[in-house]
Amino acid sequence: MDMVRFFHMAQGLEGLGETSYAQNSRLQVVTKEVIESVMDMTLSPAMEACADVETVSIADLGCSSGRNTLSVVENVIRTVCERRREATRQLPEFMVFLNDLPSNDFNALFSLVPEFVQKLKAEHDDGGGILVSVAGAPGSFYGRLFPSRSLHFVTSFTSLHWLSQVPAGLLNKGEPINKGNVYMSPASPPSVVTRYFEQFQEDFSMFLRSRSQELVVGGRMVLSMLGRRSHDIHKKINEFPLYEALSKSLSIFVSQKMIAEEKVDSFNFPLYTPSTQELEDQVYIEGSFTIDSMKQYYHDWMFENAPNVLSKTFRAATESLICHHFGEEIIEPLFETHTRVLYERLMAEEDIGWCQITVVLCKSATRWSIYKKK
């Protein structure tokens, strides 16, 4: 799965140019606010997981390479140091692992590390300062990445809604069953929604199993991802309509004979936005973690120049996938149309935006859950 993730591009806005950066500053601010809004959920668990160890191991999964990439880790390290100093205890050393797919721009990411380390050392210079080591860990987080019982704290922000692959079973006797759509939408058959849900179950369970082996007992995970407000998987709503706008834009191109209909019907995004109930159920089913807390946020899209800002950011996240399937020549006219379609959608609805869910998990001493279907 070779892609740049949507909200990480909102954090970094790489490759959009100076004009686009200014236009997208609102979205960058919103994304920064999302991170800050969950920091109180993040830091308390971090203290419990790292209270008595000499070397604190932290992994940021799906880190990307944007301006806010290191902000969560920075806050965790700063708070651990402050608490240790308040208790007149020696500061620990820190080992930070930054994970993303091999296609991530690790060169850009590592260029931020010296300033990041020096800033922390300057803040906590009590003679010897602190040691912060940073390493890259390229690979999919849907599988093992680290040695057993080696991590104290894991965080993943705005990455886990991406699936490991497009769900299987979107063809029936060779014919696409999600015709005219690029994602599950109100127009998709129930079987399409079911396939996406099943892929989410498989992937998220693999993620939990892998992290349960890598975390120490009592270690914590803070996971924040795009979600949906409705618990009904088949409810005919779409709370994240950028993909629906893309489907409509592609259908316009089909009607103008700019793209073959079969080409559109064979294209689907590997993404799933779970509800809080679905996340809770999967944690119970897997059985290695308890839920410390879970919170749902909703951010509306009613801000100045929203259609242009959102369409540009969406393009940054999805362009590589679209180019791979449809070719580069379609990109400019497609996203001009996408901006216009999105404008019409935003003008027609008042309650439109995105939902973000954050959950704090604690690694249990043993597998504890016997799941009973409700």
Residue 19: pLDDT over 50: no
Q: What fold, for 6-363?
A: Rossmann fold (3.40.50)
CA distance 283 to 205: 8
Output the pLDDT for position 290: 93
226 forms beta bridges with 356
pLDDT in tens, 182-212: 998 888 899 999 999 999 999 999 999 999 9
pLDDT in tens, 295-320: 888 877 777 788 888 888 888 878 88
Place of tokens 């998709």: 188
Output the pLDDT for position 68: 73
Residue 126: pLDDT over 70: no
In total, the chain counts a number of residues equal to 374
Output the pLDDT for position 237: 60
| Burial tier of 374 (Cβ tally within 10 Å: 0-12, 13-18, 19+) | exposed
Domain boundaries in the chain?
A: 6-363
Output the pLDDT for position 336: 95
* Residue 46 CB neighbour total at 10 angstroms: 26
Residue 325: pLDDT over 90: yes
Residues 98 and 69: beta-carbon distance below 8 Å: yes
User: Which DSSP state fits 366?
Assistant: S
pLDDT in tens, 206-242: 999 999 999 999 999 999 888 988 888 767 565 668 8
Amino acid type, 97? F
| Segment among 8-17, 147-156, 173-182, 288-297 with least mean pLDDT | 8-17
Residues 132 and 170: beta-carbon distance below 8 Å: no
pLDDT in tens, 342-353: 888 888 766 677
